[in-house]
Structures are given as C-alpha cells and as structure tokens.
Structure 1
C-alpha cells in the first residue's frame, strides 16, 4: 500500500511539473487618457497603458482589447525583462494579442505596452462609451470572468442646446407670471430675485464650451429649480394678497359694530346680531386661509380668502344699510316697534293739524256769520 501511495505522489508531482500553473489575473498599470473626462463627438482621444502579466508563472492566454472609439489605431510592444520585442500596429475596434507572444519562462517579467488613438463617436443621446476593455481569452476562445473596462461620458451636444431652450422657455413664462401678478399689486420682489438668479445660471450654461457638458446641465438644472422656487413664492404672495383683501371688509365692519354696540338704542338690535354673525364667519374663513398658507396649499388659501371676502363684504354692506336706516329715522333703532311708534306719532301729528284746521275754520265761519247779522 505504501508503494502505491508513493507512486501516486510522484505522479502528481510530475503532473504539476508538466502542466503550467494556472495564470494569475493580469494588472493594468500607468493608464493615461487625454483628454480626460466627458467627451464630445469627434474629439481625438489618446490612451496609453501597460498590461502586466502575472509573475512566477507562464500563460498561454491571449489578450483581447476592444474600444468604442471611431478610427482606432493601435500599437503595442511586448516587453520581456524590460527588453522590447518589436512594435506591432493594428486597426479595428477589437484586436487580439496571441498568447504565444506572451508565453515565456515563469521567471521572466512580461508586460505589454499599448497605445490607442481614436475619436469619440457620434451618439444619438448622451451615454457612457467604452474607451478600452481588456479580456483574457483561453485556447478554447472562452473569455475571462473579469474584464478590465474604462468608460467615459460622450455627449450629444443637442442635449445641452435642448436643455437651454427649455430653460429659457420656462424663464419667459416665469417673467410673464411675475408681470401679471405685479399688475394685480401682488408683492413679486422675492420672485424677481429668483428670476434674476435663474437668468444668470442659464447665461452661464450658454457660455460654457461643449466639453463642459456636465457643468452646463448642472447650471440648467439649478436654473429650472430656481424658477420652480420662484413660482412657489409668487403663489404664496398671491394667496397672502387675497387674505389681506379679505381682511379689509372685516376691519371696516368692526368699526361700525363697535359704534352700534356703544349705542344703547342699537346694541340689542336683531340686525346687529346678523351683522356680527356674518363677520365671525368671514373671520373663520380668514383663519382657514392662513392655515392653508402655512401648510403650503396656496390654492386652498385663495379659495378660503375669497369666501372670507364675500362674507365680510356682506357683513359690511348690511352694517352700512343698518347705519343709514338709523340716521334716516331716529326711531329705526327700535326696530319694528320703532316703525310702529313712528307711524303712530305721524298719525297724531296729522290728527292734531286736522283738528286745528277745523277749529280755525269754525272760528272764521262764525266771525263771518256775525258780520253778516250786523249787516
């Protein structure tokens, strides 16, 4: 049995000597991309890097390299122990460096220096594009599980143009809204400040070069957000103006109510009670409108303010009518009793005048009759 075990150990050792050790993953060093960052279509891009093969083992795997750049021009040199083994040039979006060219003794230091020149492709929409992707490919054509990939954003310049046009359109609508509300005597000062900020942000975006795509879109997005904030401020100011307008009739009727309550002849009149009830309803609507402003529901605030104005105006008009009735008829403050009393007095006065006229007539008649008898 021991002989069999010994034999198995020798066979295993021999197998490990004959079969190359499994390849460790390659590394990518000294990656350089110019220009770096966001690209616009047609921009020339220069890339250089080094693929370091794993040390301490040999490999039969090939290196497959791919790019989405247009007009790619490749060149690479296999370096063995820092000695270059000639320059190879190639074209096409995909190239393969055969594993045979990379197979050396396990003690050798093997690396591949690669350069790539191409142009950023035209894109229908802004999206990331692959500058370089590196895969290991075994002798059966199977790709390695973890490719090295370097991507960058390539922009559709029309995206910025469209975004700027959209922002300018929103800014124009905002300007119209500010002017309309200002004509209604609504305070638009806060919105005006937001308008100026948004205009500056759009102007800045328009002045940036196409390579500053990200900065331009950030400025545009900030401008649109600023416009939205300004519209909210206008909406709030509009609601506050409606509430202020609704408070006017309430303030006016309060003066009349105070006068009525101070006068004993009108303080207990039923008509005053109706006026006060209408006034209280108006005040409750104003309170609801202020609550809606606090919660940011400006449409509801305006609706409540409109109801407050209608009810407050009704209260004020009724108070004016009551005041006019009191001033026209001193007995009007007595209500229906005053009307009855006023009518009775008028009848008495008319009756007195009639009696006086009859007496005067009788006296005159008798005097004339007396004169006639004296002849």
Structure 2
C-alpha cells in the first residue's frame, strides 16, 4: 500500500511540474532565401530585393513574436501567413523593424505554419565601407527578450570616397617611386627591377580606376596589389643603391691590388714597411665590403651603404698611400721625381738630351769608321 501511494504521489508531482515548467520553443527556420543583387558590394542607393520563407516548428504551437529587422533604406515589407498551404491576406509594412505577433502564428500543433516574406529597400549611405544588415530574423518572448541566435544576411556597402582616396594615395606613392627611380638612374644605378614593380603598380591602379563602384572588392584588391608593388619597388631600389655603393668601393681596392702585386714582385719593395701599411688599410677596406654584403643579404640596405662608404674611404686611403710609396720608389732612380710634374718634365728633357747626345756620338763614330774604310780602299 505504501509503495502504491508513493508511486501515485510521484506521478502527481511530475504532472504538476509539467504544468509549471513552460515548453521550450524550437526555433524558426529560414528557407529559400533569395537576394538580388546576389553578389558584389553595394553602392548607396542601390535597390536590394529579398524573398524568403520562415517555417514555424512542426508539432507545436508558439506564442513567441517573430521579429525582422533591416538596415536598408525605405524598406517595403510584405508577408503572407500560410496554414497548411492556405494563404492569409498579405500584410505590408514600411518600418525598419517588422514584428509579427505570436497570436497570429498560434495554431494547432498539427498545423503546418509558414510565413512568406518579401523585402525591398535601398543600400544605405555609410561613412565608411562596411557590412550592413539586409535582414535579421529572431524571436521575442512575451517579455520582449530575444530567444536564440538571430538569422542574419549582410552585404558590403561602399563609401565611394574610400576607393577614391585609396586610388589617390596609391598614385601619390607611385609618383614618389618614379622620382626615386629617376634620381638613382641619374647616378648610374641599375633601376630595372624597381621599374618592373613600378609598371605593375601603374597597371593595377589603372585597372582599379576603370572598375565600377559595385566591384569595390576587386578595386580594393587591385590597389592592394599596387601598393605592395610600390613597396617592393622602393625596396629593390634601395638594394640596388647599396650594391652600387659596394661596387664603387671595390674600385680603389682593385687599383691598390695591382700596385701591391707590383711591389710584392719587386725584391727591393716586397718587405718595405710602407707596403705593410698599404696592405693593412686594404684589408680593412675589404672587411668593410664583406660586412656591407652581409647587410645586403639581410635586407639592411642603409647599413650596407654605410659600410660601403667606410670601405671606399679606407680603400682610397690605401690607394693614395700606395701611389705615394710608388713615387718614393721611383725617386730612388729618378733624381727629379721629387719635383713633381716639373721634375717629370725636366727628367723627360734630360732623357731627350741624353738620347740626342748618344745619337750624335754614334753618327760621328760612324763617319770616322766610314772614312777610314774609304782610305784603306784607296791605298788598295
């Protein structure tokens, strides 16, 4: 008996709880969503048309309101409630938020209830290009609280000034790249790689300018490609500049190498302390060039140019010291070498005189020999 009474009490409690706890609503589903235009960015003022069906959960009735919202301007809503395929009279609205009362949607749980909706409006004016809500659909309970996750359709609406500004900025950057290319070209720097990037950027900007505003994404992609090419062009130009500075520094190194080889091949100068100074300066210059090349490899072109300038200064010093050493060596066999250009001229004059004297002597000796032979011939 006690067990039977306990079971009856448990059944009664469960039944009471069923009456107290409200049924959980199953969310509406959105079907057959059609949007025109179906793709691409929208320009403010563009007409947008939507049509779709909202299906009420099967097997139950509901008292929740169905709420629909749009950011389109001048919205025109029209909806028809279908009960088991039978339509009610259409209802229109021109507000941004359309609410269909749960009372209008409450039928027997066995009934099939759906709502056919059409919406027409225009893309709104925006201060910056951004996604705007074409339609958002959700349920509100009797207290006005949103239930579940809203169903949302958005589209990008273009602020046409954005693309105009982007094109203008890209053209400004392109013009600066052209100026930089011309400056470096005038210095004899190879600008071919940078020029290729310039041509790519110019082509992309031209393409962006020709696209309609509805092709905002394509235009923006073209501008992005253009600005990337401009950045690459400036980088390549910077690299070419650094490489040119390194090549310039290599010039006096090559010159001094030739003199060092000459001095090392001469026994009288091979071990001269002055040659050691020249070689040390040359080695320092070469180490700077090596560092400059490392900076180029690592993409640090400003540091590469700085090292190349140091290399040029040191290499030039080495070369000038080598020339001074050479002049001193030549002075040991040319007593006029210390007089500079005047000494060179004087030395050349003396050489001419010496050659002339030797020539005269040879002529006189030749005449004497000729006469002696002639006299011998006469004596027979």
Q: TM-score range by the shorter chain?
A: 0.7 to 0.9
Counterpart selection for 2:180 from 170, 177, 185: 177
Match of 2:364 in 1: none
| 1:322 and 2:322 aligned | no
Distance 2:50 2:203 in 1: 37
Distance 2:24 2:306 in 1: 78
Residues 164 and 220, structure 1, Cα contact 8 Å, conserved in 2: yes
Residues 1:273 and 1:21: Cα distance change in structure 2 (over 3 Å)? closer
SS in 2 for 1:108: coil
Distance 1:11 1:249 in 2: 104
Superposition deviation, residue 18 in structure 1:
11
Count of residues paired in the alignment: 332
| 1:284 and 2:315 aligned | no
Match of 1:36 in 2: 38
Deviations 1:164-185 (A, max 9, x none): 0000000000000001000010
Residues 76 and 92, structure 2, Cα contact 8 Å, conserved in 1: yes
Residues 208 and 222, structure 2, Cα contact 8 Å, conserved in 1: yes
Superposition deviation, residue 318 in structure 1:
1.2
| 1:94 and 2:87 aligned | no
Match of 1:221 in 2: 224
Residues 1:297 and 1:17: Cα distance change in structure 2 (over 3 Å)? closer
Superposition deviation, residue 300 in structure 1:
0.8
Match of 1:52 in 2: 55
Residues 1:17 and 1:58: Cα distance change in structure 2 (over 3 Å)? farther
List alignment gaps of at least 5 residues for structure 1.
333-375
Superposed, which structure 2 residues align to 1:1-375 within 5 Å? 1=2, 2-3=4-5, 5-6=7-8, 9=11, 21-37=23-39, 38-330=41-333
Superposition deviation, residue 203 in structure 1:
0.8
Distance 1:17 1:83 in 2: 33
Residues 66 and 94, structure 1, Cα contact 8 Å, conserved in 2: yes
Distance 1:329 1:20 in 2: 118
SS in 1 for 2:149: coil
Distance 1:14 1:255 in 2: 110
Deviations 1:70-111 (A, max 9, x none): 000100000001110111111110111111111111110000
Distance 1:56 1:145 in 2: 19
Distance 1:84 1:51 in 2: 14
Distance 1:300 1:7 in 2: 90
Distance 1:15 1:273 in 2: 105
Distance 2:107 2:202 in 1: 65
Residues 263 and 269, structure 2, Cα contact 8 Å, conserved in 1: yes
Residues 1:106 and 1:321: Cα distance change in structure 2 (over 3 Å)? same
Query: Which range moved further: 321-330 or 254-263?
Result: 321-330
Residues 20 and 59, structure 1, Cα contact 8 Å, conserved in 2: no
Superposition deviation, residue 15 in structure 1:
8.0
Distance 1:14 1:85 in 2: 38
| Structure 1 stretches of at least 4 aligned residues deviating more than 6 Å after TM superposition | 17-20
Q: Normalising to structure 1: TM-score of the pair? A: 0.84
Residues 27 and 148, structure 2, Cα contact 8 Å, conserved in 1: no
Distance 1:229 1:288 in 2: 24
Q: Normalising to structure 2: TM-score of the pair? A: 0.83
Superposition deviation, residue 280 in structure 1:
1.0
Match of 1:367 in 2: none
List alignment gaps of at least 5 residues for structure 2.
336-380
Residues 201 and 220, structure 1, Cα contact 8 Å, conserved in 2: yes
